[in-house]
Amino acid sequence: MMTCATLWTRLPRRNGPFEAALLALVIAARRVVAVYFHRTVRCPTCQKVGGTIDEAIKTGLASELREGRLEWRMKDFQDPKNQPYVSAFRITGPTLILMDVRGDKVVAWKPAPRCWTLLGDRSAFFAYVQGEIRSLLTSAQAGAPTVGVR
């Protein structure tokens, strides 16, 4: 079976609508998924961390979200249906996990633990979250993960 990425590498370089549509599929197949895992019952600080991550992503990475190169989610890690994530990412408390996803496989991931320590400094928090995501987006576009699968 030929993937969109394989087909893309075999096409002559043209700038027509077909090539643009195919490139969009290739980019969508390679994406970063950011997930904030939270508890079922959240304290005000946990709510603030989640809300600030949401704002940092939606304001600083809006085009990446719109283009499908970035997906943003929040999940309750105490919900039994999310147990596979808890096991795979060794989640013990609220955390932001960033994943380099190719097709339907997570090829690399990393936690973003500084969210909690930077919460009091909005600009540093935004710069940290956006920078961590951008570094993965850059590696996803290049085709090589910058972090190992843990």
CATH of the domain at 133: 3.40.30.10
Close Cβ partners of 142 (under 8 Å, ≥ 6 residues apart): none
Give yes or no for residue 60 having a pLDDT over 70: yes
Give the per-residue pLDDT at 7. 45
Please compute the mean of the pLDDT values over residues 79-106 and round it to a whole number: 93
Domain assignment of residue 55, yes or no: yes
Question: 144 vs 102, which has greater pLDDT?
Answer: 102
Domain assignment of residue 8, yes or no: no
Domain assignment of residue 90, yes or no: yes
What is the gyration radius of the CA atoms in the chain, in angstroms? 17
Task: Give the SS3 label for residue 66.
Answer: helix
Cα separation of 36 and 122, whole Å?
A: 17
Domain assignment of residue 147, yes or no: no
Number of domains in the chain: 1
Domain assignment of residue 7, yes or no: no
Close Cβ partners of 12 (under 8 Å, ≥ 6 residues apart): none
Domain assignment of residue 120, yes or no: yes
Give yes or no for residue 3 having a pLDDT over 60: no
How much is the mean pLDDT over the chain?
84
Domain assignment of residue 89, yes or no: yes
- Give the range of the structural domain holding residue 68, as residue numbers without chain letter: 32-142
pTM of the model: 0.76
Give yes or no for residue 14 having a pLDDT over 80: no
Please compute the mean of the pLDDT values over residues 36-63 and round it to a whole number: 96
Domain assignment of residue 57, yes or no: yes
> Longest Cα pair distance anywhere in the chain, in angstroms?
55
Residue 150: pLDDT band (50, 70, 90) is: very low
Please compute the mean of the pLDDT values over residues 93-97 and round it to a whole number: 96
Task: Give the SS3 label for residue 86.
Answer: helix
Tokens linked to 59: 């304001």
pLDDT > 90 in the chain, percent: 67
* Rounded-to-10 torsion of CA 107, 76, 127, 106: 0
